[in-house]
């Protein structure tokens, strides 16, 4: 992705979050220059990859296969000193944009429709292995305290305020109808380097063409 496209998406997200009255922590608004002044006290942000994150999943077409995220809090599976066992993200999904099938082996997560004007569609399958959907077995889901099974490939539709809990090993893809949505994710510790099993070969962080200066850093810029 071009840095100019990333800058534009972050500025749009800031406007949308303001409109939705969702306030972000101060580090969301640090410039690259501000980051240089932040010492080791802030290593939790860098190590646990808190902050702006957007991805085209290696598709080269963010508007079709992509997701915009901001990680508000997270633990760390590989830091022995880490005591945090949970994570929270805010996500923005645009019409026409899909987050492709994947599952997590370590993380159990809830995806929440936090608002906007539309419905979130979450399509689920069990997994036979990393790259194979289980097209026969019903899938256990929990939707706001209702634990039940849906057919393989069922689409669970979530209105604003509704949420789904996804078990480990359950393939999920999601998209919205025709209006931009604000989603929440509440989960166990998130590790995007090791715990995303995509049905098709995908990248998790975008390759960036630096066509202008970064307004804000992405989590993938910390290293
Ligand atoms: Fe997921």
- What are the pLDDT digits (tens) for 97-154? 999 999 999 999 999 999 988 999 999 999 999 999 999 999 999 999 999 999 999 9
pLDDT at 202: 85
pLDDT at 96: 95
pLDDT at 205: 85
| 44 C-alpha to ligand 1 centroid (Å) | 22
Strand partners, 185: 89, 111
Q: Distances from the Cα of 59 to the Cαs of 62, 101, 131, 175, 180, in angstroms?
A: 7, 13, 18, 16, 20
Which region, left, alpha or beta, applies to residue 29 given φ > 0 means left and ψ of -120 to 50 means alpha?
alpha
- Indicate the pTM of the whole model: 0.95
| 173 C-alpha to ligand 1 centroid (Å) | 8
pLDDT surpassing 90 at residue 222: yes
pLDDT at 52: 98
| 36 C-alpha to ligand 1 centroid (Å) | 32
> Is 189 in contact with 74 (CB distance < 8 Å)?
yes
At 208, the pLDDT band (50, 70, 90 cuts) reads: very high
| 4 C-alpha to ligand 1 centroid (Å) | 27
Q: If you average pLDDT over every residue of the chain, what do you get?
A: 95
| 151 C-alpha to ligand 1 centroid (Å) | 19
| Percent above pLDDT 70 for the chain | 100
pLDDT surpassing 90 at residue 62: yes
| 83 C-alpha to ligand 1 centroid (Å) | 22
At 207, the pLDDT band (50, 70, 90 cuts) reads: confident
pLDDT at 92: 98
């Amino acid at each position: 992705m071009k840095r100019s496209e990333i800058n534009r998406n972050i500025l749009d997200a800031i406007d949308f979050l303001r409109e939705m009255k969702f306030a972000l922590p101060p580090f969301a608004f640090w410039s690259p220059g501000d980051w240089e002044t932040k010492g080791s006290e802030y290593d939790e942000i860098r190590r646990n990859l808190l902050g702006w994150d957007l991805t085209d999943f290696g598709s080269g077409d963010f508007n079709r296969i992509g997701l915009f995220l901001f990680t508000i809090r997270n633990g760390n599976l590989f830091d022995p000193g880490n005591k945090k066992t949970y994570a929270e993200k805010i996500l923005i999904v645009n019409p026409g944009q899909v987050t492709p099938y994947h599952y997590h082996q370590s993380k159990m997560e809830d995806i929440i429709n936090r608002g906007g004007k539309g419905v979130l569609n979450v399509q689920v399958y069990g997994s036979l292995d990393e790259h194979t959907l289980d097209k026969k077995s019903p899938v256990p889901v929990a939707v706001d305290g209702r634990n039940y099974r849906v057919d393989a490939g069922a689409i669970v539709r979530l209105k604003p305020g509704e949420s789904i809990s996804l078990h480990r090993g359950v393939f999920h893809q999601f998209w919205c109808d025709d209006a931009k949505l604000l989603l929440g994710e509440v989960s166990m510790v998130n590790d995007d380097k090791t715990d995303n099993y995509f049905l098709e070969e995908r990248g998790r962080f975008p390759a960036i063409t630096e066509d202008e200066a970064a307004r804000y850093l992405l989590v993938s810029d910390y290293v």
